[in-house]
Amino acid sequence: MLNLKKALICFTVFLLTVSPFTLRAADAHQEGSKTEAEEISEYINHHLQDDHYFSLFTDKKAGKHYGFPLPVILIDNGFHIFSSGEFHHGEHVVEKNGQHYALYHGKIYKTDAAGTINYDEDHHATNEKPLDFSITKNVVGLLLAALLLFVGFTSLAKTYKKGANNLPKGAGRFLEPLVLYVRDEMAIPNIGHRYKEFMPYLLSVFFLIFLLNLLGLTPLGFNVTGNITVTLCLALFTFVITNVKANKDYWKHIFWMPGVPALFKVFLMPIELLGIFTKPFSLMLRLFANITAGHSVVMGLIAIVYLFQNQLTVGGSIGVSMALTLLLFILELLVAFLQAFIFTMLSSLFIGMAVEEHAHH
């Protein structure tokens, strides 16, 4: 399961702290080399991030990377389109129309012919960055998910065109129960009679998150929903739809709540106004944190094989690690559905609160 080489920051840091590799790391720094623990930590951080190169696996002994480069699209005094393979995994500087670019920690910076990277006091790169519209690994994951959903739902739609009594075939047999679940358990209870107006969005966000989470558990190595910019975009859609479709009663209950003494209205109004922004923020952070943590724990357990290979027998370390990893992998399948359910459920709840028609007595 090569994709399960995505992740644990927290768990691996714990392992690095309590394992004997911590002492070895100190010695290695003095010798100018890296320990296995440090290499694993770097590998985990790399696979948590987006990338301009679609890496499948690396043969360290041969010094080869197996995968394929993705297109780089930069706007910097004109358009610059080229293959990310020209960076040679960050080892080479690319020159385009007199401009030099370097790939450093997954980001593209403007530099000189020597590839100089300047740092601030916190060792963060301070070089200017061009506008980057590249097709990265996360973008490929989104395009693949969109293609799979288009094919699946097109097949389901063709079934309904033949008549209401036709049973779905193929992927439709898996999709139809989930469509009914979103409608009957989320949209109708939370939104009411106006649920049909928001079903396209709720179905789109549910199946997109669910499929992206499942792709994140495959050897393809995607971590799309573990990218906070993606979860931010999804949360912004809920934010915009909620506030654009909100009725006057919704805004009245925020700015001047009926049935509340005027003095309390003054104090409650900023709190209610803040709640407009905390709702999408919670959607963004919950999805990002849970997916990242889930992948991280799985990767941390796989790392046990390498961190404790001198303390355990090879068969024992692999057996324990794989057993725990398999258990967490099964739990991750549940989390993949659960996070899609929670995001969609809360989105329908927020929309329902905004379009609810209040009775006035």
SS (H, E, C) the chain: CHHHCCCCCHHHHHHHHHCCHHHHHHHHHHHCCCCHHHHHHHHHHHHHCCCCEEEEEEECCCCEEEEEECEEEEECCCEEEEEHHHHCCCCCCEEECCEEEEEECCEEEEECCCCCCCECCCCCECCCCCEECCCCHHHHHHHHHHHHHHHHHHHHHHHHHCCCCCCCCCCHHHHHHHHHHHHHHHHHHHHHHHHHHHHHHHHHHHHHHHHHHHHCCCCCCCCCCCCHHHHHHHHHHHHHHHHHCCCHHHHHHHHCCCCCCHHHHHHHHHHHHHHHHHHHHHHHHHHHHHHHHHHHHHHHHHHHHHHCCCCCCHHHHHHHHHHHHHHHHHHHHHHHHHHHHHHHHHHHHHHHHHHCCCCCC
Q: What is the mean pLDDT of residues 174-188?
A: 92
- Domain spans of the chain? 60-135, 139-355
The C-alpha atoms of residue 136 and residue 292 are separated, in whole angstroms, by 19
How confident is residue 241, by pLDDT bands cut at 50, 70 and 90? very high
pTM over 0.85: no
Render pLDDT for 129-155 as a digit per residue (tens, 0 to 9). 999 999 998 999 999 999 999 998 888
Q: What is the pLDDT of residue 315?
A: 53
* 24, 42 Cβ separation under 8 angstroms: no
Long-range contacts formed by 15-19: CB under 8 A, 24+ apart: 15/300, 15/303, 15/304, 15/307, 16/41, 16/307, 19/307, 19/308
Decide if pLDDT at 338 tops 80. yes
Q: What is the pLDDT of residue 270?
A: 87
Per-residue model confidence (pLDDT) at position 295: 75
Residues facing residue 119 across a β-bridge: 125
Residues 316-337 pLDDT 10s? 556 666 677 677 778 888 888 9
Of the chain, the end-to-end C-alpha distance in Å amounts to 61
30 pLDDT more than 80? no
Distance CA 119, CA 103 (A): 15
Q: Which residue has the higher pLDDT, 253 or 179?
A: 179
Task: State pLDDT tens for residues 198-210.
Answer: 999 999 999 999 9
Q: Is the pLDDT of residue 214 over 70?
A: yes
Report the pLDDT value the prediction gives residue 307, as an integer from 0 to 100: 67
How far is Cα 69 from Cα 81, in angstroms, rounded to an integer? 13
pLDDT given for residue 37 in this prediction: 65
Confidence at residue 268, expressed as pLDDT on a 0 to 100 scale: 83
Q: Is the pLDDT of residue 173 over 80?
A: yes
